[in-house]
Amino acid sequence: MDNRPALPPEIARRRTFAIISHPDAGKTTLTEKFLLFGGAIQMAGQVRAKGEARRTRSDFMQMEKDRGISVSASAMSFDFKNFRFNLVDTPGHSDFSEDTYRTLTAVDAAVMVIDGAKGVESQTRKLFEVCRLRDLPILTFCNKMDRESRDTFEIIDEIQENLAIDVTPASWPIGVGRDFLGCYDLLRDRLELIDRADRNRVAESIAIDGLDDPKMADHVPAHLLEKLREEVEMARELLPALDPQAVLEGHMTPIWFGSAINSFGVRELMEGIGTYGPEPQVQKAQPREIAPEEGKVTGFVFKVQANMDPKHRDRVAFVRLASGHFERGMKLTHVRSKKTMAITNPVLFLASDRELAEEAWAGDIIGIPNHGQLRIGDTLTEGEMLRVAGIPSFAPELLQTCRAGDPMKAKHLDKALSQFAEEGAAKVFKPTFGSGFIVGVVGALQFEVLASRIEMEYGLPVRFEPSQFTSARWMAGDKAAVEAFAAKNKQHLATDNDGDLVYLTRMQWDIDRVERDHPEIRLTATKEMM
């Protein structure tokens, strides 16, 4: 960021981000309005498919439809003014934190949506902490201002105290609930008035020459105007002014107030993402970093999704381009296998439908259909042996044994589970001793999702049963020591989908004991996927 050269314009105009929020805060509604103003859809309502079911078009699993949760992340691209936005959808449910974590490795910024009546909720806080680990810039949207909300200062204070980040108001709400009129745009001195008659209409925007402009009185009743002037004066005194550099460093978040469902405040937020959001960033990799403006293409897989289209049994690897200008048909080196792949049918996710990508630039997300060669954490380059760093795999917190309903079909189960392991949907361990598979997940709901997917996609009923183990740790350290230990502790050992050794146990003290008695062996709760 400091002394870096200016990026080529095509790269500089890209903004790749995710939305973090607690369920129900309005992520889906906001996404819908982004797409509406991005010209990607004609009418709001198309994202949340027809009828009662709450889901975006990117949700396609039966489970998701039934429960109204988004199990799988996908990416959507749209243009707004001079900007190209790439919005990566994060699964909203707390059970899918690992997936979410990896999704956040593919973005340069996050938009945090909070409900004006509820403030910072648990899931928002967790996701915020993940963003903080990477110092991701965060822009905040305080939604549902058309309802009874908390006092504006109280909301800002809560964010500052709860999340330890400076908050600077980009707009200030006028009135609240039924009296909510709109916002005063503090960055551009404009009055934005909500149009409650048509939810898809952009608000009326009136240029104002400061808060003392007599024009204000034509639009804002005296009692609200007085309150607004007082509050803004106080805000300017008490709250920090917008510092673009602090925003880029993740120490300050600008906040916009609005109502996604009324399309209010969304356009200002989008302008904010364009103006204050980061350009595609340098990517950490081994043995060297990758800069977006480099001439050669590099990218990494942060998500694999199988069976997106049940008719085609394909897998799509979602690749974040870290550098260069990609063109369809390019041959890229798959660093892990050192093989060359011709990327002939990459897809860009334009709003609702997949489309063939003729070209893409650093910052973009493309989908590469494949038959399982591409795994999470894989790097693609034009020949250089670079590996993108920092995409972790977490030790699962819940373990269960998985068996085929029909023992004759155990082979198929092997295939199905290994596919889900590659997707990153679960950890699958093959015990050295005994039969069956041990499946590990981060949240209990994932067992249900898996059972339902195995049945739907492979026609294979399965049972999940309690396992005698409750923890799994990868084994690292001195090779001979690990092998000697493994030979003596077969009943505790398994291999993961990559063939790496895993120590299974039921007690934390067991882990402590191994570490104490075998200092040359390390038991790790994360493994970098490379």
Neighbours of 294 (CB within 10 A): 16
What residues contact 350, with CB distance under 8 A and at least 6 apart?
A: 40, 76, 77, 78
Is the CB of residue 96 less than 8 Å from the CB of residue 5?
no
Q: What is the DSSP letter of 12?
A: H
260 binds ligand GDP (CB under 6 A): yes
When binding is defined by CB under 6 A, the residue of 27, 102, 267, 492 that contacts ligand GDP is: 27
Stretch that binds ligand GDP, among 139-147, 187-195, 209-217, 236-244 (CB under 6 A): 139-147
For the CB of residue 447, give the shortest distance to ligand GDP in the complex, in Å.
23
When binding is defined by CB under 6 A, the residue of 77, 103, 105, 143 that contacts ligand GDP is: 143
28 binds ligand GDP (CB under 6 A): yes
Q: Which residue has the tokens 């970093």?
A: 289
When binding is defined by CB under 6 A, the residue of 126, 132, 134, 147 that contacts ligand GDP is: 147
123 binds ligand GDP (CB under 6 A): no
Helix, strand, coil percentages (3-state) for the chain, rounded to 5, are 30, 30, 40
Amino acid, res. 440: G
Residue placing its CB nearer to ligand GDP in the complex, 44 or 252: 44
DSSP 476-522: EE-HHHHHHHHHH-GGGEEE-TTS-EEEEES-HHHHHHHHHH-TTEE
Q: How many residues bind ligand GDP (CB under 6 A)?
A: 18
For the CB of residue 140, give the shortest distance to ligand GDP in the complex, in Å.
14
Structure tokens that stand for 455 in this block: 């049945």
CA distance readout (Å), 504 to 99, 424, 475, 489: 23, 19, 10, 10
Q: What is the DSSP letter of 8?
A: P
Stretch that binds ligand GDP, among 20-28, 240-248, 356-364, 407-415 (CB under 6 A): 20-28
Closest C-alpha to 265, from 123, 139, 124, 150: 139
46 binds ligand GDP (CB under 6 A): no
For the CB of residue 54, give the shortest distance to ligand GDP in the complex, in Å.
6
33 binds ligand GDP (CB under 6 A): no
Known binding-site residues equal 21-28, 89-93, 143-146
265 binds ligand GDP (CB under 6 A): no
Cis ω on the peptide bond leading into residue 346 (within 30° of 0)? no
124 binds ligand GDP (CB under 6 A): no
Q: Which residue has the tokens 């200030």?
A: 172
Residue placing its CB nearer to ligand GDP in the complex, 21 or 419: 21
Stretch that binds ligand GDP, among 37-45, 258-266, 317-325, 386-394 (CB under 6 A): 258-266
When binding is defined by CB under 6 A, the residue of 7, 18, 26, 59 that contacts ligand GDP is: 26
What is the rounded distance in angstroms from the CA atom of residue 160 to the CA atom of residue 123?
Answer: 17
For the CB of residue 443, give the shortest distance to ligand GDP in the complex, in Å.
17
When binding is defined by CB under 6 A, the residue of 105, 168, 259, 281 that contacts ligand GDP is: 259
Q: Which helix or strand (DSSP H or E) is residue 361 part of?
A: strand 359-361
Residue placing its CB nearer to ligand GDP in the complex, 24 or 384: 24
Helices (H), 72-174: 97-104, 122-133, 152-163
Print the binding letters for residues 72-101 with ligand GDP: x by CB under 6 A, - otherwise.
Answer: --------------------x---------
25 binds ligand GDP (CB under 6 A): yes
SS (HEC) of 260-292:
HHHCECHHHHHHHHHHHCCCCCCECEECCCECC
29 binds ligand GDP (CB under 6 A): yes
144 binds ligand GDP (CB under 6 A): yes
Binding site for ligand GDP (CB under 6 A): 21, 23-29, 54, 92, 143-144, 146-147, 259-262
